Amino acid sequence: MAANPPFDLAEIDRLLMTTKAVRRRLDLDRPVDRDVVVDCIRLASYAPNASNAQEWHWVVVDDPDQRRAVGEQYRRTTEAVVSTMLAAKEAAGDEAGARISRSILYLAAHMGEVPVLVIPCYDLEAAAGRYGRLIGADRETTGMEPGMYASIYPAVWSFLLALRSRGLGSVLTTAHQSDQPAMAEILGIPDTWDQTALLPVAHTTGGDFVPSPRAAVEESIVWNRYER
Ligand SMILES: Cc1cc2nc3c(=O)[nH]c(=O)nc-3n(C[C@H](O)[C@H](O)[C@H](O)COP(=O)(O)O)c2cc1C
């Protein structure tokens, strides 16, 4: 380790290890300041992205009726699928997996009550200009390509870290993607913007967070060359 690290490593490591999926501990009653959301999006914009083109739009929903409509649409796309997953996990005796499914169902039931909902969108049309070809529905290719997700998910993760650093919580969700047109209709989102995630944003309840279980990292590292 460097003799004089430029950051307080204990604090940075704690941030990285405890920025986790928050669902049941989102405070549904405490409002979230618009300023803090804007600050976190500003910090997120420093994330790496292809050609520094910043082909993103952050749709932020804090109007109660709009939140309710978005939450209801999220519930519609989540509940049946995750209920089936939950039954399969319970049947297989996978209690850890079942706990996550129950937590997902809890959030699906309450998404519309979360104070702020953020939908980071990737602008396919802007990317098409840069890539020199058309991308998306009815065009040469059918939608998001890996490089495009790679140009927005770093910013999404930075946004989640920035929230956590300010005492707020969230979870990266994507279940709504199975019906993007329905969500686009509610929010007026053009069909050339891919809705890459739906992020509920709230203050958190309870005490501090502890790291989630993860496999030993040595199991996933390959040094120099993979040997079968
Ligand atoms: C690509 C992606 C899609 C996800 N989709 C959902 C989702 O639709 N709903 C949800 O509640 N959580 C979703 N999650 C959150 C994961 O369940 C969570 O990150 C994982 O269980 C690890 O949680 P932990 O960091 O708290 O251990 C998603 C995460 C990722 C990276």
Dihedral pair phi/psi, residue 21, rounded to 5° = -70, 110
Tens digits of per-residue pLDDT, 2-50?
A: 689 999 999 999 999 999 999 999 999 999 999 999 999 999 999 999 9
Predicted pLDDT of residue 73: 98
Predicted pLDDT of residue 141: 57
Asked whether residue 189 is domain-assigned, the answer is yes
Q: How far is the CA of 137 from the centre of ligand 1 (A)?
A: 26
Confidence grade of residue 58 (pLDDT, cut at 50, 70, 90): very high
Confidence grade of residue 64 (pLDDT, cut at 50, 70, 90): very high
CB 28 within 8 A of CB 209: no
Asked whether residue 152 is domain-assigned, the answer is yes
- Tell me which of 60-64, 66-70, 82-86, 191-195 is least confident: 191-195
Secondary structure of 170-221 in HEC code, one letter for each residue: CCCECHHHHHHHHHHHHHCCCCCEEECCEEEEEEECCCCCCCCCCCCHHHHC
Q: How far is the CA of 189 from the centre of ligand 1 (A)?
A: 24
Helix (H) or strand (E) holding 169: strand 168-169
Tens digits of per-residue pLDDT, 141-170?
A: 557 788 889 999 999 999 999 999 999 999
Predicted pLDDT of residue 129: 80
Asked whether residue 166 is domain-assigned, the answer is yes
Q: Tell me the best of 117, 172, 178 to mutate to test the pocket of ligand 1, counting ligand atoms within 8 Å of each CB and taking the most.
A: 172
Our answer on whether the CB atom of 21 is closer than 6 Å to any ligand 1 atom is yes
Q: Tell me the best of 19, 119, 174, 204 to mutate to test the pocket of ligand 1, counting ligand atoms within 8 Å of each CB and taking the most.
A: 174
Number of domains in the chain: 1
Give all strands (DSSP E) within 8-160, no chain letters.
Answer: 56-61, 116-123
The residue whose C-alpha atom lies closest to atom 13 belonging to ligand 1 is 173
Asked whether residue 28 is domain-assigned, the answer is yes
Asked whether residue 30 is domain-assigned, the answer is yes
DSSP state at residue 52: G
Dihedral pair phi/psi, residue 111, rounded to 5° = -50, -45
For residue 144, the enclosing domain spans 24-63+114-204
Confidence grade of residue 127 (pLDDT, cut at 50, 70, 90): confident
Our answer on whether the CB atom of 172 is closer than 6 Å to any ligand 1 atom is yes
Which CATH number does the domain housing residue 164 bear? Answer: 3.40.109.10
Q: How far is the CA of 104 from the centre of ligand 1 (A)?
A: 9
Tens digits of per-residue pLDDT, 191-219?
A: 999 999 999 999 999 999 999 999 999 99
Dihedral pair phi/psi, residue 123, rounded to 5° = -85, 95
Asked whether residue 80 is domain-assigned, the answer is no
* Cα–Cα dist 155/217, whole Å: 24
Q: How far is the CA of 97 from the centre of ligand 1 (A)?
A: 12
Q: Which atom of ligand 1 is nearest to the CA of 23?
A: 11
Our answer on whether the CB atom of 212 is closer than 6 Å to any ligand 1 atom is yes
Asked whether residue 86 is domain-assigned, the answer is no
Q: Measuring CA to CA, which residue among 54, 75, 71, 51 is closest to residue 62?
A: 71
Asked whether residue 128 is domain-assigned, the answer is yes
Q: How far is the CA of 26 from the centre of ligand 1 (A)?
A: 15
Report whether pLDDT(135) > 70. no
Q: Which atom of ligand 1 is nearest to the CA of 108?
A: 11
